[in-house]
Amino acid sequence: MSLSHHLFLVSSFSTAFTTYCFNLGPRGIDPAACPTLHVPGVDSVALRDADVGVHYATPGTSHRLVVPPPISSRGLSSPDLSEVDWPAPSLAWEAFYPNGSINPAAAIPGGFGFYVAGPAAFSEKLAAGATHAVLSYRMMLQEGWEWVKGGKLPGIYGGEGDSSYACTGGRQEARSKCFNVRPMWRPKGQGELYTYLPLTDRNQQQLSAVPPYSTGNAQYGFSVGRNAFNFDVGRWITLAFRVKLNDVGSENGELELWVDGESVISVSGLTLRDSDKSRIKGAHFQTFFGGHEVDWASPKDQRAWFADLSGAIIE
């Protein structure tokens, strides 16, 4: 399966973009150097803030565009990796998690946080009322990564107007006006989805049923499908998120996560909105250690890299 499939995972779409070709070289987009991107109709854009609609960045953090390190010897030995079909990005956003850092707003800021609307054609379709979309990216955790208790990674978000922002962090008010879905690592690299969805009985029922383990927190979000997959270190991993909004008044919304092209978590029968004013807004590009207490903190300086940001609107 080619990289293009791992990023998009859909057979048809109305609008799509990727920064994949841009990342193949510092001189910019070069389709001729992008032999594995066999997806007609996908717009190639640069991995630059203005080009992908970065906004509301958390003060005190950075997401520098850097040349990431080479894949580790451990990563190269992965049976899923082929340097022919999977050329490593030559440019990526870097997240830095200093020793003792917990989250971007803590005394020692760690990671980063911002929102991504996508390029103009993509964001305009979302704003016009698209109800079904896929967002994806590739990421690499440094060799020697220490997991501690867990941490957050970029995901997908939406809702009504400005109520769609700040849906996380234990938010309780206006929960029917926003949704936020991010992957999370747990000890030993166990993976899950960490969700903030409208607080309905059916949502709790559907999320709780996701194997192998799911649990809610009355004050914070819902851990969904813990240990359904595992994160690796020292190599590039592809994460793709699919969200389908429910019809207003119906419980037929859907969430799905693919890791390296494999569907690892899928939930249906959900309510993601109670008004047709609610929109899929784009990516919540946030990552940090935590939790919010010191026992979640990074035990040393650590780094991660993010590249090949892509999106597709299905309908």
Model pLDDT, residue 84: 43
- The closest alpha carbon to 134, from 54, 18, 214, 48, belongs to 18
Average per-residue pLDDT for the chain: 89
Average of pLDDT values for 15-35?
64
Average of pLDDT values for 102-114?
91
Instruction: Name the residue range of residue 24's domain.
Output: 3-313
- 280, amino acid identity: I
**Within 13 A of 25's CA, how many CA atoms are on the CB side?**
8
pLDDT at 35 over 80: no
Average of pLDDT values for 183-199?
97
pLDDT confidence band for 283 (50 / 70 / 90): very high
pLDDT confidence band for 82 (50 / 70 / 90): very low
Model pLDDT, residue 62: 94
Average of pLDDT values for 96-121?
94
Model pLDDT, residue 296: 96
Model pLDDT, residue 7: 87
Model pLDDT, residue 8: 83
pLDDT at 260 over 90: yes
Determine contact, residues 238/80, Cβ cutoff 8 Å. no
pLDDT tens, residue by residue, 146-181: 999 999 999 999 999 999 998 988 777 778 899 999
Select the more confidently predicted residue: 41 or 146. Answer: 146
pLDDT at 182 over 80: yes
pLDDT at 77 over 60: no
Model pLDDT, residue 81: 46
Model pLDDT, residue 83: 45
Report the CATH number that the domain containing residue 161 is assigned in CATH. Answer: 2.60.120.200
Model pLDDT, residue 169: 80
Total domain count, the chain: 1
Choice among 38-52, 211-225, 253-267 with the minimum mean pLDDT: 38-52
pLDDT-above-70 percentage for the chain: 88
Average of pLDDT values for 93-119?
94
Select the more confidently predicted residue: 46 or 147. Answer: 147
pLDDT at 295 over 90: yes
Model pLDDT, residue 217: 82
pLDDT at 216 over 60: yes
d(CA 74, CA 66) in angstroms, rounded, equals: 22
pLDDT confidence band for 39 (50 / 70 / 90): low
Buried b (16+ CB within 10 A) or exposed e, 254-282: bbbbbbbeeebbebebbbbbeeeebbbbb
Helices (H), 46-165: 49-52, 73-76, 120-127
Those residues whose C-beta lies under 8 Å from the C-beta of residue 256, and which sit 6 or more positions away, are: 241, 242, 263, 265, 266, 267
- The closest alpha carbon to 208, from 197, 195, 222, 220, belongs to 222
